[in-house]
């Protein structure tokens, strides 16, 4: 092992003799299908194991969601991102405080509502 590096400490859970190995994985959101939104670019998500499940985070917009599994935390975050985006779209910009205004600016870099196109005759 290189000098100055340490093995990660293992967190002891409240259950006797059970050890949890914390880890994190980066997963991009690449689609919101079938929802009527499109991504301008993939949205970076970090999924981390916690003592009682998993947390998925998009740090740029300060959004976090949890779940019992990695997949559930990821799905919950996708839903939260769209809920927050919709809520912020519905508010007049002058009514948004500094943090919601910042979150909205970040989310607009990644997401836009799909425009409906008329069917050709």
Quote the DSSP letter at residue 94: G
Residue 108 has pLDDT above 50, yes or no: yes
| Residue 121 within any structural domain of the chain | no
From residue 25, alpha-carbon distances to 9, 30, 55, 70, 104 in Å are: 18, 16, 11, 9, 25
| Residue 43 within any structural domain of the chain | yes
Q: What's the domain range around 78?
A: 22-112
| Residue 17 within any structural domain of the chain | no
| Residue 87 within any structural domain of the chain | yes
Q: What is the pTM of this model?
A: 0.76
Overall domain count for the chain: 1
Higher pLDDT, 114 or 63: 63
| Residue 11 within any structural domain of the chain | no
């Amino acid at each position: 092992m290189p000098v100055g590096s340490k093995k990660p400490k293992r967190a002891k859970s409240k259950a006797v003799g059970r050890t949890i190995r914390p880890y994190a994985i980066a997963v991009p959101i690449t689609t919101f299908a079938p929802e009527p939104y499109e991504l301008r670019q993939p949205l970076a998500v970090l999924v981390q194991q916690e003592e009682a499940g998993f947390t998925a985070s998009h740090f740029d917009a300060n959004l976090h969601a949890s779940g019992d599994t990695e997949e559930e935390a990821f799905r919950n975050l996708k839903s939260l991102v769209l809920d927050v985006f919709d809520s912020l779209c519905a508010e007049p910009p002058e009514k948004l405080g500094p943090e919601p205004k910042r979150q909205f600016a970040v989310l607009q870099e990644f997401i836009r509502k799909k425009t409906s196109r008329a069917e050709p005759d």
